Amino acid sequence: MHFVTRRLATDWADIDSLTEDDVNLQEQRFRGGAVNWVLQTYLHVRAGLATAKVTSSIGDAIHPGCVNVVHRDLLNRLSRAAKCATIVGVRADRPPFELADFEVLQNDLHIAPGRQFYIPFWPQPGLIRRDPARGSEIRKIAYMGETGTTSPWLLSDAFRQTLLAIGVELEVRRKRWADYSDVDLVLCHRREAPCMLLQKPASKLVNAWLAGSPALLGDEPAYANIRQSALDYVSIKNASDVLVAIERFRNVPGLYQQVVDNGMRRSLEFTVAKTTERWLSLLLGHALPQDASIRASKTWTGQFARFARQKIHSRRFKRQYRKETEAGKRDTMADASVLADAP
């Protein structure tokens, strides 16, 4: 079993000395899709593979003659090594990965049984839970992550000042994504192309469950798909919805703790241990048993056809993304103000 990632020699020269515990101990290093989908997976499943007497390795190139775990960004061309290997491909935030023999999707909105497998994205490395001594008070809301597609109202001074007026601080954390110790509510609302949202994982919701911080989220497909009750997260569309949610948490006795307890129950489906089980099930239960027959059946004609389909998917996705992004910009400009929803 071989795992393929980038910049191994420059960024991960110590890979042979790293253990699964280092994912949490060195959480700042684990950023980016290929790193977390491939390198982190390698560290988590290595022991399970060894127990099954499967040799595992990691490098920056595909190894022929075995099962390879590869991010889509690393297999965007025809490859002789890939033709002679079984590819477990991670799609991530991308269009379909046709060159993969088994395709890993980070949500289960569109799964084709047999070839595609839903495996949740790993939880935030080094996650620090909310301090229970804070009780049910709401004094700080935090947005965790990059802000390139964050809705304008969420980043506005008007929204921030309105929250301060009711005793709530808004913090936009572009770093320190792991620390929820003082976060009373998690907030996320994005203006993003629908075709991209269909590829996204439910990570912000899952991390909120694990952290013990109730989440206020836009109804992205991945969130809505795993939602089982109103306690899973508060659906918001604008700044006014945020204010209503805060008022309800403050005025309904016991509601805050109910949401926290529900989140802890739901989080059990998405722990590192559960995600590791999913990976081992795919690798040992599906990819490895079929490895020899898959490799024997591959032809250059078949590879050319798969590569062509992958390129077609990419071009269609890029066109759709541009179209939807431009439509979103026009909708924003058509508003009387991008802050029309803000108090």
**Per-residue pLDDT, 328:** 77
Compute the mean pLDDT over every residue in the chain, rounded to the nearest whole number: 94
158-201: per-residue pLDDT in tens? 999 999 999 999 999 988 899 999 999 999 999 999 999 999 99
pLDDT at 339: 38
Model's pTM, two decimal places? 0.92
Contact 195, 317 (CB under 8 A): yes
- Domain annotation for the chain: domains and CATH numbers: 2-121+271-298 (no CATH), 132-267 (3.40.50.2000)
Q: How far apart are CA 270 and CA 119, in angstroms?
A: 9
Is the pLDDT score of 332 beyond 90? Answer: no
